[in-house]
Structure 1
Amino acid sequence: MSKVANKLKLAFGTLACVSVLAVAGCSPVYKNHGYVPTPEELAEIKVGVDTRDSVVEKVGAPGASGVLKDSGYYYVASRVRHYGPKRPEVVERQLVAVSFDQRGVVRNIERFGLEDGYVIALDRRVTDSSVQDRGFLRQLLGNIGSFNPANIPGQS
């Protein structure tokens, strides 16, 4: 074989490997989070009969419970798609809400999907600033009149 043919063969092989790696790197990756009882497990729970303890025995402990003492149990499961450099996207979410009355007896069982509601940000991680529409000099000069020597620690 000639040197030109070998170089073409090597270039084609390299191009094929890079193409395969690029396609494999861009395939979606799915991650599942949380737990939701199956319909068969939920059918074992009897409204008006079962209590908080019997619900935990039949379907397991909830992922979350209500803030108030007499509120319900919440089972949440999500399926998230990670696709290359794009932001992860929730493609499926299920929520099962088991509500109780004041005696701790099951009052209602509801199932919700992603299509039933809105995406709610539970944690914003944003600090609101109390300083608005003021430049640095305006803030500095605005504090000149509010100085009080009696507020200095160690002064009596």
Structure 2
Amino acid sequence: MLKVVNRLKPASKTLVFAACLAAAGACTPVFKNHGYIPPAEELAEVKVGVDTRDSVIEAVGAPTSSGVIRDSGFYYVRSRVRHYGPKKPEVVSRELVAISFDDRGVVRNIERFGLEDGIVVTLDRRITESTIQGQGFIRQLLGNIGNFNPANIPGASQQ
């Protein structure tokens, strides 16, 4: 019996070491990059007052998005997001290059922004507002007692 116990000790030590190594590896952050911004060398080729929309696309590539108004501008956005275990993903860095145009479609301005330049703006909010907030199930059920009308039941015969 003592021989079996002595044989399990090295194996259990290896198993514990492997489990600790796997746990430590699972706690390393994972970074994901999204989007594209042109490098500074390519942006230097774009001349304010000279280049047009087509020449900008040719020089630095198609924008990530463009303005809502037709002639407002091109926007290049890059984000770096850190995923760390079960925590909520965190935006570590975000860069935006905005190229605006005048009425003739000629470059008017080139600007670069980062997270440190302002507040986070929610671009898309998909929340359905509810009129029953703060009311429990029983309160909702009892609140509908006087509102029942058999004529509103689908398929009920109307007399």
Please, what TM-score do these two structures have when normalized by structure 1? Answer: 0.83
Corresponding residue for residue 11 of structure 1: 12
For 1:135-154, what aligned pairs fall within 5 Å after superposition? 135-136=139-140, 137-138=142-143, 141=146
Corresponding residue for residue 107 of structure 1: 108
Aligned-residue CA RMSD in angstroms? 2.5
For 1:4-153, what aligned pairs fall within 5 Å after superposition? 4-130=5-131, 135-136=139-140, 137-138=142-143, 141=146
Residues 131 and 61 (structure 1), Cα distance of their counterparts in 2 relative to 1, 3 Å cut: same
Matched residue of 1:111: which SS?
A: strand
CA distance in 1, matches of 2:133, 2:80: 40
Residues 111 and 10 (structure 1), Cα distance of their counterparts in 2 relative to 1, 3 Å cut: same
Unaligned runs of at least 5 residues, structure 2: 153-157
CA distance in 2, matches of 1:85, 1:26: 9
Cα distance, 1:26 vs. partner? 1.2
Please, what TM-score do these two structures have when normalized by structure 2? Answer: 0.82
The number of aligned residues is: 147
CA distance in 2, matches of 1:29, 1:110: 30
Corresponding residue for residue 155 of structure 2: none
Cα distance, 1:132 vs. partner? 6.1
Percent identity among equivalent residues? 59
Residues 126 and 39 (structure 1), Cα distance of their counterparts in 2 relative to 1, 3 Å cut: same
Matched residue of 2:105: which SS?
A: coil
Matched residue of 1:20: which SS?
A: helix
- Deviating beyond 6 angstroms after TM superposition, the runs of 4 or more aligned structure 1 residues are none
CA distance in 2, matches of 1:124, 1:6: 60
Cα distance, 1:106 vs. partner? 0.5
Unaligned runs of at least 5 residues, structure 1: 150-154
